[in-house]
Amino acid sequence: MVISVRVPTDLQVVEEAVDVVARHCLASGLTPRAARFNLRVALSEALANAIVYGNGLDPSKSVEVRVVVASNGFAVHVCDEGSGFNPAEIPDPTLPERIGRPDGRGLFLIRQLVDDVSFNDRGNAICMILRRA
């Protein structure tokens, strides 16, 4: 099964989009804890990054969320219309010189909350894997 949602470039709709995806994933067998916490936080961060950094808050662009439900878990894809980035160039937010900064924690949080993270070659799409328990 595949769940697809097109999200406008508007931070005000992130919570609603996450609610829709989380409900579908919960109904498809994602554990309540994973749906209510891991998925919600990771997807919120990925969507916010796509809207702010990927699409540059350009209202003419959108973000595509696609969840592939498989027997072994859930693959959550978030793709923006931006030019992309190199995730290896994002500094570690736990370094002493970065610890007080208000930004730069999104990817760190995502990596802590999901089982696997990958990016497409262009750097404008993230795939987050949540395995079934």
Domain residue ranges in the chain:
2-131
pLDDT of 104 > 80? The answer is no
CA dist., res. 92 & res. 94, Å (int): 5
Q: Give CA–CA dist 118/11, Å, rounded.
A: 23
DSSP 59-90: TT-EEEEEEEEETTEEEEEEE-SS----GGGS
Give, in degrees to the nearest 5, the angle at Cα 128 between 12 and 28.
85
Over residues 60-98, the pLDDT tens digits come to 999 999 999 999 999 999 999 999 999 988 888 888 888
Q: What is the CATH code for 2-131?
A: 3.30.565.10
pLDDT at position 109, please? 92
The mean pLDDT of 18-38, rounded to a whole number, is 93
Give the separation between CA 103 and CA 90, rounded to whole angstroms.
Answer: 11
Q: Using an 8 Å Cβ cutoff, are 41 and 22 in contact?
A: no
Encode pLDDT of 32-53 as tens digits.
Answer: 999 989 999 999 999 999 999 9
Q: Which residues of 21-46 are buried (b: 16+ CB within 10 A; e: fewer)?
A: bbebbeeeebeeebbeebbbbbbbbb
